[in-house]
Amino acid sequence: MSSSRRLPLLLSAGVIAAAGAFASAAEPGHFGYGQRATPEQIAGWDIDVRGDDGMGLPAGKGTVEKGSQVFADQCAACHGTFGEGEGRYPKLAGGTGTLRDDRPEPTVGSYWPFAPTLFDYINRAMPFPTPHTLSADDVYALTAYILNLNDIVPNDFVADRESLPKVKMPNRDHFTWTDPRPDTEATSCMNACTGPLGVKITSTAEGKDLTPRTTGPLDTMQSQ
């Protein structure tokens, strides 16, 4: 008899003990659950690389030759051996000078403004089915290979955190960094928003019975 009856009591005592442990771990102003992220965990998320100066590029390096091997194994099935694109998968090379054509071909070579962005993109998103599986050295090598396919770097190029920001991409100077549209200079306002760039309110929905005012579940919840 006794052992099976005593079990629920023991269990609940255990639950209370566990809750007590959490409560004592709580810092003032916190709820006492979750845990502080470790530097390693934060490093796992903090992988962004800035385009123009390559800030955030990790240690490591890779050659065009090594990149051609990794590319053949991991990328060519979709992007073609020379970046020409299989089926409807994107081309990674070519298209230079086509951006003003009726059928422009935007690729890494013809369109992208910064080489470090290529590292960043591959590192976070490719290979498409298994992202985040490549080493930094492999991503550097792939970056070198794709830049070489586009005739942007020579065969003996070594990609690393020093060399990539120095690569001048063909379309680099054709991006506009300031937005010349007049409405982007408007300052925000919450009332009396008229003037050259402001909006004149000519009518409102108020009084047109567009939003039912009858008491529904939402009103009931809010009034509680």
- Which residues in this chain contact ligand HEC in the complex, by CB under 6 A? 74-75, 77-79, 89-90, 92, 107-108, 118, 121-122, 126-129, 142
The least distance separating ligand HEC from the CB of residue 112, rounded to whole angstroms, comes to: 7
The contacts of residue 160 (CB under 8 Å, 6+ apart) are 57, 60, 61, 62, 140
Nearer to ligand HEC, 22 or 128 (CB): 128
Q: Which residue has the tokens 């942007």?
A: 152
Minimum CB distance to ligand HEC smaller for 107 or for 148: 107
Burial letters for 165-183: b for 16+ Cβ neighbours within 10 Å, e otherwise? Answer: bebebbbeeeeeeeeeeee
Least distance between ligand HEC and beta carbon 75 (Å): 3
Cα 80 to the center of its chain, rounded Å: 25
Tell me the closest approach of the beta carbon of residue 56 to ligand HEC, in angstroms.
Answer: 18
Q: Which is nearer to ligand HEC, 76 or 186 (CB)?
A: 76
Q: Minimum distance from CB of 188 to ligand HEC (Å)? A: 33
- Residue 92 CB: number of other CB atoms within 10 A? 26
Pick the closer one to ligand HEC by CB: 136 or 142.
Answer: 142
Cis bond leading into 165, ω under 30°? Answer: no
Task: Determine the Cα–Cα distance for residues 156 and 66; give it in Å rounded to an integer.
Answer: 11
Whose Cβ is closer to ligand HEC: residue 54's or residue 127's? 127
Distance CA 118, CA 149 (A): 13
Q: Provide, rounded to whole angstroms, the least separation between the CB of residue 132 and ligand HEC.
A: 11
Shortest-Cβ-distance residue relative to ligand HEC: 75
